[in-house]
Chain A
């Protein structure tokens, strides 16, 4: 598989506090890679840094995407280049779900996908509501995934797509993630429970982050197996930040 994303020894600071240190990750086209770790280990921070969000300052290392260094690109440029981030806890915004769907689908030329995405992810009842105001966990995840799909990504960064979600929604979300990979989209899933991974068909590389460092990498099924057996305790011993 052709390499899509290469995070090379990246360290990230937020408000001058080091959160991620010397992290390296690779994702290829069509691969579903997994980044696991306990709460607060820095997984979301790394995803936001890859997406280029202001406030997530890359103090060292590089982000290479399609062979180009995008470390200092603005977030909207990265998004337009095909990097789409589905947030774990997106903010509430005075913006109707229908309006953002409309804007995104026109911006990314994905209007032909709208009807199917809305129907299959069960968004019809949410179209006239403001983004995430009073939404359940499952509704948030389904809308986030829908918006990500409508951006026609080449790299989808999914932050905890299974947290606070019922089983039926997890299955639906997983189905779409599988479909993304079938369409040659590289996917990087961040999850601390790994629940969604049982519905993912072809898992790629797996990484474990502890205290801001990647402490273990292996095929995802091995990573999951280790965590299922002994939790994150064993990885803690491998050394986090000191």
Chain B
């Protein structure tokens, strides 16, 4: 006897799971089940501000000029082969205070979800995007391409939270272009086991004095094989970047992070900080910081470490009144923290709650 779950039930399940991840699409945003937009809510304020927030396929038809101007510049794909995706255009000097939530859900076994997102924050604009990617089924594939254009003097803050299941395979490519004095902050968390992950993030500083920061918090569990390649190109003078990663190796997971900064123009600054913590003897972490420069007037630094939780650290906290499990959770929580001082206030609770949940989970 086969049990068919209705679309409505799937949507309810997906919305609940998204909400538990802090991805509150019912406040303002959309949820895509496999290839279908199953839920969408756009606030009146967004419409009044002239923000365009539609599916990428609709955007190709309704806003061909914008899609052509900003889209497919750093990503090579055929849009006919894309199932769905979102297009957000924030007009010049428009500042969005509330986050826009998007959620991509794998809901059918064997489904291959192909996504292309295009986000444009035009000159002087500001936006916060929260994206959740999750799976309701095992054995499915998520393949996404995302381009973001952050105009002159604009700010774009992005949180991405992955919540997969074992046997899911993920390929994600994200490319961001920053114009003069643009500011980009990217915070990524993945705490779930999956079969394989290949995640490429590239940030192109094409405008002077642009700033970027990419934070990645990755917990590998079970037999996950996770690979994160992050590269920032400092192609405009006086631009600066930071790439910060925290990687926790649990069970038999294998996690590889390669974080590169390439200095092309004078006066640029960059820092890579990679920390790995092994919880299991069978897990493995490979972390590779890469700095490349042919410019004398550039400052590039890196620090990298991989270690284990030491017995004396746990005992120290036990003497402060915490049980052994609580002590380990506290240390993991502290390790995962990358510092939220530069994050907008609205993003902090989402990140903090997620980190609390992860660190208190049984490791």
Contacts and interface: CB of A to CB of B under 8 A. Distances in A.
Interface of A: 48, 51-55, 74-76, 79-80, 84-85, 87, 90-96, 99-100, 103-104, 107-108, 128, 130-131, 147, 151
Contacts of A99: 330, 333-334, 337
Contacts of A54: 315, 318
Nearest to B326: A76
B247 to A, nearest CB: 13
A52 B341 CA distance: 38
Contact of B313 (A76, A79, A91, A103): A91
Contact of B334 (A52, A76, A87, A130): A130
Contact of B320 (A74, A94, A104): A104
Given A76-B323, A95-B334, A87 B339 contact: no
Interface of B: 275, 277, 310-313, 315-323, 326, 330-331, 333-335, 337, 339, 341
A93 B341 contact: no
Contacts of B322: 76, 107
Contacts of B331: 93-95
B330 A95 contact: yes
A52 B320 CA distance: 11
Contacts of B333: 95, 99
Nearest to A81: B321
Contact of B316 (A80, A91, A108): A91
A53 B315 contact: yes
A212 B206 CA distance: 68
Nearest to B335: A94
B178 to A, nearest CB: 27
A107 B321 contact: yes
A85 B319 CA distance: 7
A51 B319 CA distance: 7
Can you list the 5 inter-chain pairs with the closest CB atoms, starting with the nearest? A95-B334, A79-B321, A94-B335, A94-B334, A75-B318
A28 to B, nearest CB: 22
A53 B320 contact: no
B222 to A, nearest CB: 24
Contacts of A53: 315, 318-319
Contacts of A84: 320
A54 B324 CA distance: 11
A54 B277 CA distance: 23
Contact of A151 (B311, B321, B339): B321
A96 B316 contact: no
A74 B318 contact: yes
B14 to A, nearest CB: 33
Nearest to A148: B320
B319 A79 contact: yes
A217 B317 CA distance: 32
B319 A128 contact: no
Given A95-B330, A99-B337, 12 more contacts: A55-B315, A76-B322, A76-B326, A79-B319, A79-B321, A91-B316, A92-B313, A93-B317, A96-B337, A107-B321, A131-B334, A151-B321
Given A96-B334, A128-B341, A151 B312 contact: no
Nearest to B275: A94
B312 A91 contact: yes
Contacts of B315: 53-55, 75
Contacts of B320: 76, 79, 84, 100, 104, 147, 151
A91 B319 CA distance: 12
Contact of A80 (B312, B317, B321, B335): B321
Contacts of B337: 94, 96, 99
Contacts of A55: 311, 315
Contacts of A90: 316
A55 B319 CA distance: 13
Contacts of A96: 334, 337
A130 to B, nearest CB: 7
Contact of A76 (B312, B321, B339): B321
A104 B320 CA distance: 8
B325 to A, nearest CB: 10
B244 to A, nearest CB: 13
Given A91-B312, A91-B313, A108 B321 contact: yes
